[in-house]
Amino acid sequence: ENAVPNIKIFIVQNATDAFNSLVKSLPWKGGETIVLQNTSYSAIRKTVEWLRDRYGIKILNVPILIYIG
């Protein structure tokens, strides 16, 4: 009997590629919301904006305050 669970592994070039592959594979519905922090990398923000334009999702921008003391 095979005791190894059915696991799928994907090899990608970097974290941005991984994020894009993941979110573009999900079944988005209009009105759903993605929470995005104001410090998000621009490539991530562009993908989320693409999802908004394509599927009608909402983007909730959350400010992350960074204290430099």
3-state secondary structure 32-65: CEEEEECCCCHHHHHHHHHHHHHHCCEEEEECCC
Residues 14-24 pLDDT 10s: 999 999 999 99
Q: Rounded to an integer, what distance in angstroms lies between the CA atom of residue 28 and that of residue 53? A: 12
pLDDT of 69 reads 82
pLDDT of 26 over the 70 cut: yes
Overall average pLDDT of the 24-30 stretch: 93
Reading the block at residue 56, the tokens are 């009608």
Q: Rounded to an integer, what distance in angstroms lies between the CA atom of residue 58 and that of residue 13? A: 28
Mean pLDDT value across the chain: 90
pLDDT above 70: percentage of residues in the chain: 96
